Structure 1
Amino acid sequence: MQLNHLNLSVKDVPATRTLFETYFGFTCNDPKLNDTLSVLNGSDGFILVLMNQRMNEHGNHTYPDTFHIGFYLEDETAVKNMWEQLKNGGIEPEQAPQIMRKTFGFYFSFDTFMVEVTTPIKA
């Protein structure tokens, strides 16, 4: 069994699509590039669906405080480089990369969700 996809409910589909394409290597293969729905493919076959919150007028439009999506990078240098790329792109992570439990990384908020960028600390 393999996890196939994740559907994120967001306020701004185009901006969120750009985030994942620019910094996390996703590609949009959805011919209907619009502000209501985008289907993104990861390099490993994982599918990320971005759906505008307005599409579903009923239900919860907020995530729990600890909800986040995470990306593992190859080493601390890659984490630091990603932090710099995000800052240079106008995205302000709330913290600089740091040791967090047994990993090195950082979190940042975007649209309606939080992203973790981290790498395991090598012993």
Structure 2
Amino acid sequence: MNLNHINLVVKDVNRAVHLFESHLGFNLIINRKSKMAVLENGYNFALVIWGQELNHKENTPEYPENFHIGFYQKDEQAVWEIYEKLKTEADLQFESEPKKIRDTFGFYFFFEKLMMEISVDPFKDTIR
């Protein structure tokens, strides 16, 4: 069974699309009037960006504590490269620069109130 898609609710759909396209390897499939967008990453997985206004609410959506999405990188250098590029984006908040976290190396950042993790795949050398 494969994961088909995940739906993330954000206040600013266009900013989210920019982030995922420019820095996280996604390609835009469709942007429906800046209210909802669908992106793909080439692995039969879609990311649906749902604008908060479609929920008939104006505030930035809240996510449960510790909810986050993560993206694996091939090595520490790739983590540093993404970190340096993301630092140029306005309105992103970083917990720290890349460092050892659990059994890997990476960092966390926030887009609006959504936490994201960029880290080296700690399982890359294990048989899956």
Q: Is the 8 A contact 2:93 2:111 kept in 1?
A: no
Structure 1 runs of 4+ off > 6 angstroms?
A: none
Deviation at 1:112, TM superposition (A): 2.9
Instruction: Could you tell me which runs of 5 or more consecutive residues in structure 2 were left unpaired when the two chains were aligned.
Output: none
Q: How big is the alpha-carbon RMSD for the aligned residues of Structure 1 and Structure 2?
A: 1.9
Q: Deviations over 1:33-72 (max 9, x none)?
A: 42210000112121000011111238xx421010101000
Instruction: Could you tell me which runs of 5 or more consecutive residues in structure 1 were left unpaired when the two chains were aligned.
Output: none
From the two aligned structures, give the one with the greater strand fraction: 2
Aligned partner of 2:103 in structure 1 is 102
Aligned partner of 1:45 in structure 2 is 44
Q: Deviations over 1:75-119 (max 9, x none)?
A: 001001111111133444231000011010000000231110000
2: CA distance between counterparts of 1:8 and 1:64? 13
Pairing of 1:1-123 with structure 2 (within 5 A): 1-30=1-30, 32-57=31-56, 61-90=61-90, 91-120=92-121
Task: Normalising by structure 1, report the TM-score.
Answer: 0.88
Deviates more, 1:74-83 or 1:113-122: 113-122
The number of residue pairs the alignment matches comes to 120
Structure 2 CA distance for partners of 1:42 and 1:114, relative to 1, 3 Å: same
Task: Normalising by structure 2, report the TM-score.
Answer: 0.85
In the alignment, residue 110 of structure 1 is paired with which amino acid? Answer: F
